[in-house]
Amino acid sequence: MTYEFLVMALLFLVPGAIFWLVRADLRWLMRRAMLASLPFAATEWLFYPEYWTPRFLFGLADRIGFGVEDVLFVAGLGAFSSCAYAVAFRQTVVPRGSGTRPWFRAAGGIAAMLAFTGLLLAVGVPILYAAVAAMGVGTLGVLGVRPDLVLPSLLGAVLSCVIYLGLCLLFERLVPGVFERTWRPSLLLRGHFLGVPLDELLYGAGAGLAATAFPAWAFRFAFAPLPRPGSRSG
């Protein structure tokens, strides 16, 4: 039997690895985005087996509620979704303002999103939609104080969704029929696009939206055009 989620998680590390190689200026952002995403690995017990039923290494999802695959997946997703906009539109990051304890801000934002997700679950919203709604509401809160991030966030959502789709299509080629076997029928978005559940694409877009805006707010930076090679300032 194939470890489907392990295959998927390894695939999701590839875009971030490519970004890491070609954009040294974004490596610090990828490191922070990957670290900030790790708490979400522990939420697998909310998705399994309600949303899907993959096989986990060492049966960890049944034992502790999440697996090695979750750590790899959220790290990979955080890496590429936080930088997709900057890479595609030749942007870099520059400091914006000053402040202390950026990780305290990040932890507070993550806790708020998790709490909102829990609230939606308590009133009966299915987990995937609760997670996407929490990412969306959290991003709206950030954009309320950082309107300069509106366009980057929207474009980041589109780009992350496209990358997510490409990875899922490759996943389907490597593990034929995996979406029919492993994913539960959707409660709301019952359709597929090129064989990929619309739920997954919604999740990819939500991740891109939040991962573009949230680090910029938490770590106080802005996007700016990448200097051309050989250009001089001043």
Tell me the per-residue pLDDT of 78-92, one tens digit each, with 9 for 90 and over.
999 999 999 999 999
- 167 vs 171: CA distance, rounded Å: 6
- 70 vs 81: CA distance, rounded Å: 16
Element (H, E) at 210: helix 198-218
- 64 vs 62: CA distance, rounded Å: 6
Mean of all residue pLDDT scores within the chain: 92
Return the structure tokens found at 68.
Answer: 């090695």
pLDDT band at 230 (very low <50, low <70, confident <90, very high): low
**Residue labelled with tokens 């609230």:** 119
How confident is the model at residue 227, as a pLDDT?
Answer: 84
How confident is the model at residue 2, as a pLDDT?
Answer: 78
- 194 vs 158: CA distance, rounded Å: 17
Which of 109, 169, 162 has its CA nearest to residue 137? 109
Query: Taking the model in full, what pTM does it have?
Result: 0.93
Q: Which residues pair with 95 in a beta bridge?
A: 221
- 46 vs 40: CA distance, rounded Å: 11
**Residue labelled with tokens 């990875």:** 167
What percentage of the chain exceeds 90 in pLDDT?
Answer: 86
List phi, psi (to 5°) of 196: -95, 130
Mean pLDDT across 116-121: 95
Mean pLDDT across 132-146: 95
How confident is the model at residue 87, as a pLDDT?
Answer: 97
pLDDT digits (tens, 9 = 90+) for 177-205: 999 999 987 877 778 999 999 999 999 99
